[in-house]
Amino acid sequence: MSDLDNAQDDRGGMPQCVIDKGVSRCESCGSLVPAQAVFENGFTYILQDCPFEKKTFKKLKYKGKWNIIRWQKTPSYWPWRATDKEKGLDWGRSDPRRPILALMMRTECSARCRICELVTSRVNKEKPAGLDVAAAKRTIAAHRGKMVSFCMAEPTENASLAELIRFASERRLITVISTNGLKLSDGKYLKILKDAGLRYIYMSFDGFDEDVYEKIRGGKHQYYLKLQAFNNIKNEKMKAGIKAVLVKGVNDNQVDALLQYALRNNFVTEVSLQSLSLGGEEESCGFTKEHLLSVEDIKFLINTVLHLSEDQFDCWNKIKIGLAAVMAKFPFIRISPFEFDAMYLVRKKDKLVPVLDGKRLERIASLLRDGKITGLIKAGFCLPASFFRFVLKEILFKRRLLETTDDLVLVRIRTIVSKPYFFSYSGMLVHKNMLTP
């Protein structure tokens, strides 16, 4: 058995375990129906019981046990309540108070990746859904948050992208795109987006091996186009985040190379890792559930590469739960929703190191456990002087976002589940996905 398999504490042939009960949208009739999140043989499934169709459905959510983390309390403008779950990517129904507006560009993606469900499941491949530019501008104009993210499926395929970026930038909104990066290999096109006001680029990049792109994307040529895109981004002095999809046995050995690239290139300020998703099925596009990685698997890979203790991510999660409870007491201070399984690292010569060491993290987590203001004040005294110097220099004087600084790298684990097999329950849950703010 491999070290990776030994690291998993949620595997094994065990009886079905009900994690939680709630509602989900029936894949057949579209109605909200009773559902259960269950853990079975190392995987989390959603079981739907439709009284209208008189059918039951079982859909794979992801590998590993769904860790439902209950918030103590969150700021009122964080849209995580069950009634809002499906609005995350629907800009037509977006709440203008949200810190981040996600605009679905509704354009066909030319990458034709094997692992992308949009290639195989779109009902009408000849006629893309299209984008109402006027309606999009009205939504941007009404937005009272700080950021607009252009996404889904491939924003650079939309001829109106630069126009919308400029429209948002003129309203002093931070503009972000989530892209496959293929068109950014054209330096002139990237310059057009930069001049329009583009601030940040999230680009899919799955490792430094051309064979990876042959196996899970649209061909080896994509690897070289993406490398050229990175060179163009670097030459334009822009900032970017790497989004990598990991497939067990294909590119799960690329974590070290991705983090080393971020270490050596300060234009990369984020490395985001996620497992392959099969869109609710146990087999799709030539892959099976055995190709999936759990959150714990990915944590193990990161911790092994960076020589971190096992509780680094857990401590950060506890801190965020406590800090969210404190910030709920100050509704006039607007901050973006926190993400679980994410932490900041600092570039130190030839390695990436955590912003805070393990003992300091544990101390701060314990002080914030009760979600009280006094705990926040005490936690402030636990921070090193270098932290306050960084805040003064980068955030206050240079007016930069954490995502655009030269010294920090955000490492996070994203959980993406394709298709609307969402699961709502009587609590609150943060989806680890920047596109569902």
Tell me the pLDDT tens digit for each residue of 298-345: 999 999 999 998 888 999 989 998 998 898 888 787 777 778 888 989
Conformation bin of residue 80: beta by default, left when phi > 0, alpha when psi is -120 to 50 = alpha
- Total-model pTM: 0.83
pLDDT tier, 71 (very low <50, low <70, confident <90, very high otherwise): confident
Q: What is the full DSSP assignment across 86-114?
A: GGTT-GGG--TTSSEEEEE-----SS--T
Name the residue with tokens 């690897």.
223
Q: Which residue has the higher pLDDT, 83 or 116?
A: 116
Residues in the chain: 437
| CATH of region 82-307 | 3.20.20.70
Q: Which residue has the higher pLDDT, 67 or 206?
A: 206
Would you say 104 and 151 are in contact if contact means Cβ atoms under 8 Å apart?
A: yes
State both tokens at 425: 């329950």
All CATH 3.20.20.70 domain ranges in the chain, comma separated: 82-307
- Distance, CA of 404 to CA of 199 (rounded, Å): 9
The values of phi and psi at residue 265, to 5°, are: -125, 105
Would you say 193 and 231 are in contact if contact means Cβ atoms under 8 Å apart?
A: no
**pLDDT of amino acid 18:** 87
Helix (H) or strand (E) holding 306: helix 295-306
> Coil, helix or strand for 351?
strand
Name the residue with tokens 């009122």.
76
For residue 106, what are the contacts with CB-CB under 8 A and spacing of at least 6?
128, 129, 130, 131, 152, 153, 158
